[in-house]
Every structure is written in C-alpha cells, then in structure tokens.
Chain A
C-alpha cells in the first residue's frame, strides 16, 4: 500500500474552513484515498473517500489533485467538536484491504474558539 505524509498538527479558528493536506505520491491507479478522524478517547470515524474526482458529503469535501499525488480534506466551517486527529489513508478497492490499512499518526487538528 502507498504511504501518506501529513503535517503533525494544525490549528484552525472556529467557524473558519480547515484545510488538511495529505501527500500520497506513490499512490497507484486502483487505490482510493480515505479519511478517518479520531476524537480523543474514541474510535476512528469514517469521513469521506475518493478515487480521482472531488467528493463532498455532509461532513467534508475531498479535493484530489489531477495527478492524484496529493489531496486536501476540507471542513468548511470548523467547530470545536471537529478537534481530533485526522488520518489520510490510501487503499486498493479490493478484498483484504481493511486489514492492510496503514494508520500513521495523522494530523492533530485543534479548533480554537
């Protein structure tokens, strides 16, 4: 599986957009980009995933560059409850791969009042 690189930590003001970058320069054609987050003392929570097109759901937007070597997770109006560690993971979309997810240390996002 391709590995990802994320900044260790970021800050964001409440109400502003939080843009979390992720580099995945070795991503291959059949690998999706997944984002999860982990609020303190809880289990990870799925946010969004995409292959090459930009995606949006009720939680966030995912922007993937045309060469697919990087992506950005956007929380459009961050709230204090969005303070969490955000994990960017790439994985092939076929069997056996939930076991092979490589969970790095993610980005610790602090949303400040």
Chain B
C-alpha cells in the first residue's frame, strides 16, 4: 500500500509563474490536508478537502491560492503568480475516514521562487 505521494519533489518557478503541486492520498483515504512550512517555522494548516469538496480553506491566502480534490485523480494545490514569499515546503497529508484519525504525510514539495 503506497503512502501519500507528492510530486514534484522540487519545483522552481520564476516570479509571476504558476505552481501546481499534486498529492495522491493513501489508498482508501478520503481526507486530504495541505500544510505549508517556512524555513525555521512549524507547519501551518492551509486547506482541508474531501472528494470534490473544500471543507475548510481558512488557512489559505485568499488570493492566488486554490485547491481541489476531484472525484478522479490527485489533489492539486495551485499557486498563481508566485512571489518569493511563496518559497516553502508544501506537505500533503491524508487520513482514512474522519478527522479524528492520525495523519499520514507525503514527502513534500519544495517550492523555490526565483
């Protein structure tokens, strides 16, 4: 049973470009979370999704950031018109059926904005 898969592992973008980060949860998991980790800081919650629904996006910036978890395929975190401050590690986590259960994390995508 493969774990949470994130790709790409590293992503370099120039200012103003778009970044698309993908996350495939563990098989059978229907809850997906995205977190951001800035250097020397703890993980910060961004968005929580279930299949085809955004449940909570309170941690995500209102502009330029969006997320989806379609019925088929991976969850996507999309950052439009990236700026240098978006440079960070972005982690995806999944849990089986409820929010009470422990989280399984992917290896993350390191986004670098030049």
The reply to whether A49 and B45 contact each other, CB–CB distance below 8 Å, is: no
By DSSP majority rule, is chain A's interface helix, strand, loop, or mixed? loop
User: Are A43 and B95 also in contact (CB < 8 A) when A93-B100, A98-B103, A99-B45 are?
Assistant: no
User: Are A99 and B100 also in contact (CB < 8 A) when A44-B91, A44-B105, A105-B42 are?
Assistant: no
Q: Flag whether B76 is at the interface (Cβ < 8 A).
A: no
Separation in Å of the A88 CB from the closest CB of chain B? 12
The reply to whether A44 and B59 contact each other, CB–CB distance below 8 Å, is: no
List B contacts of A41 (CB < 8 A): 107-108, 110
The reply to whether A43 and B45 contact each other, CB–CB distance below 8 Å, is: no
Chain A window 27-66, contacts with chain B (Cβ cutoff 8 Å), 1 for yes, 0 for no:
0000000101000011111100100000000000000000
Complex Cα distance, B33 from A96, in Å, reads 12
Question: Which residues on A are within 8 Å of B, measured CB to CB?
Answer: 34, 36, 41-46, 49, 87, 93-106
